[in-house]
Amino acid sequence: MEITYHRNSLEGADAVAYREFLQRAHGAHYMQALGWRAVVPAAGLQHRYVLVREQGRVIGAAALLRGMRGPLRSPIAVIERGPVVHDVRDLDRVLPALLRVARWHGIDQLRIQPNFADAEATTAAAIANRHGFATVEDLDGPYTATLRVALAGVERANIFAGSERSETRRCARKAREGGVLVRRGTASDLPRLAALYAQMMTAQGGNDRSSAYFASFAPLLAAEQVALFCAEYQGELDCAVLVARHPEQVTLHLGATSQIKRNYKKMLLPIWAAAEWAYDLGARHLDLGGVPPPYDADTKRQRIAQFKFDFASTPVMLTPVMLSAPSPVGQAVRRVVTALRKRG
């Protein structure tokens, strides 16, 4: 088995192999795509890329985010919605290879979340558990359940057909008749999205996205790897949603709404437009980006989830977030550090 590890960027033959693998891999996700490295990560995070080959054929790939603690690299790395494999059973060979190369480069623990759903998600978790990974639950972290709008096998005009979506259609009609206009956004709209998002998050008590983060979506917009849908009312930006595409799926990445009270659901028409865009691309479904478990007491997340249930009713369970156990060396280092802190 051949394992290659790259810091910060991936070029040449390995970059071609990585892109081609993600285009055909069943477990691919847009956050693992090479183009996603253009998106500015949180401060102090650096990209790493791993390719796992077996007899010259790629069987696994991963984009890692590794933090810095001052001049030192963090012993923990995160693989968002990965590693990527074509068949969930390939994790049995890919995960040990990932752990070996990670530890060789000073990464003592890996946080992973392979991109599988329902029965395959259960299989992925079981395989990871056999290789020393344990489930970690963080209600503020990556979502582990989502809702999906089915697009395959339906007519474009009937994406939201059916009696269970009658209220959604009524609200959409009310917004349109009230003068709400939806259009495709461009790179020139990214500062407006950033400002709208900042206003929304400030009202909710925080903001975890910089203006540079939003500006970094410009090349992805140009390549149509992401799309921006803006809803305007009387010339003012009322809502914007950013969706990302990867094979057979379009996913709601983030959205922002104005703080002005309206008599319609501000995010409804942009999501409707995103579903039609996804349909035209030939996607099998529009992923609405996650819903919290019923016992999550966060009212904001539960309110957003209730809105998403207007579009789809059956949650899809995803692979849980999992963290590898520290190595014996890592455990020894932690004991020494703990002892020194107690003495200090």
pLDDT in tens, 162-184: 998 999 999 999 999 999 999 99
What is the band of 331 on the pLDDT scale with cuts at 50, 70, 90?
low
Topology of 145-314 in CATH?
Aminopeptidase (3.40.630)
Contact assessment for residue 142 and residue 281, using Cβ atoms and an 8 Å cutoff: no
* pLDDT, mean over the chain: 91
Helix (H, G, I), strand (E, B) or coil at 40: coil
Of the candidates 127, 149, 123, 115, which has an alpha carbon nearest to the alpha carbon of residue 26? 115
Structural domain boundaries of the chain?
2-142+319-343, 145-314
Q: 130-164: buried (b, 16+ CB within 10 Å) or exposed (e) per residue?
A: ebbbeeeeeeeebbbbbbbbebeeeeeeebbeeee
Supply 334's token pair. Answer: 């932690």
pLDDT(13) > 90: yes
**Do 2-142+319-343 and 145-314 share a fold?**
yes
Under the banding of pLDDT at 50, 70 and 90, the label for residue 340 is very low
State yes or no: pLDDT of 314 exceeds 50: yes
Helical residues (DSSP H) of 81-139, grouped into ranges: 91-104, 118-130
262 has a pLDDT exceeding 80: yes
Residue entry with tokens 């009322």: 238
- The CA-to-CA distance between both ends of the chain, in Å, stands at 46
3-state class (DSSP) for residue 296: coil
Beta 226-233 vs 249-257: how paired, if at all? Answer: unpaired
Identify the weakest region by mean pLDDT among 34-38, 206-210, 295-299, 312-316: 206-210
Q: How confident is the model at residue 342 (pLDDT cuts 50, 70, 90)?
A: low
Cα distance between residue 342 and residue 344, in whole Å: 5
The pLDDT of residue 68? 76
Write down the pLDDT at residue 337: 45
Instruction: Give the residue with greater pLDDT, 125 vs 290.
Output: 125
332 pLDDT more than 90: no
Cis peptide before 328 (omega within 30 of 0): no
Exposure string over 21-38, b if 16+ CB within 10 A, otherwise e: bbeebebbbbbbbbbbee
Q: According to the model, what pLDDT value does residue 180 have?
A: 95
- Arithmetic mean of pLDDT, 1-25: 94
Question: By three-state DSSP, how is residue 139 classified?
Answer: coil
Q: Output the CATH code of domain 2-142+319-343.
A: 3.40.630.30
Tens digits of residue pLDDT in 183-201: 999 999 999 999 999 999 8
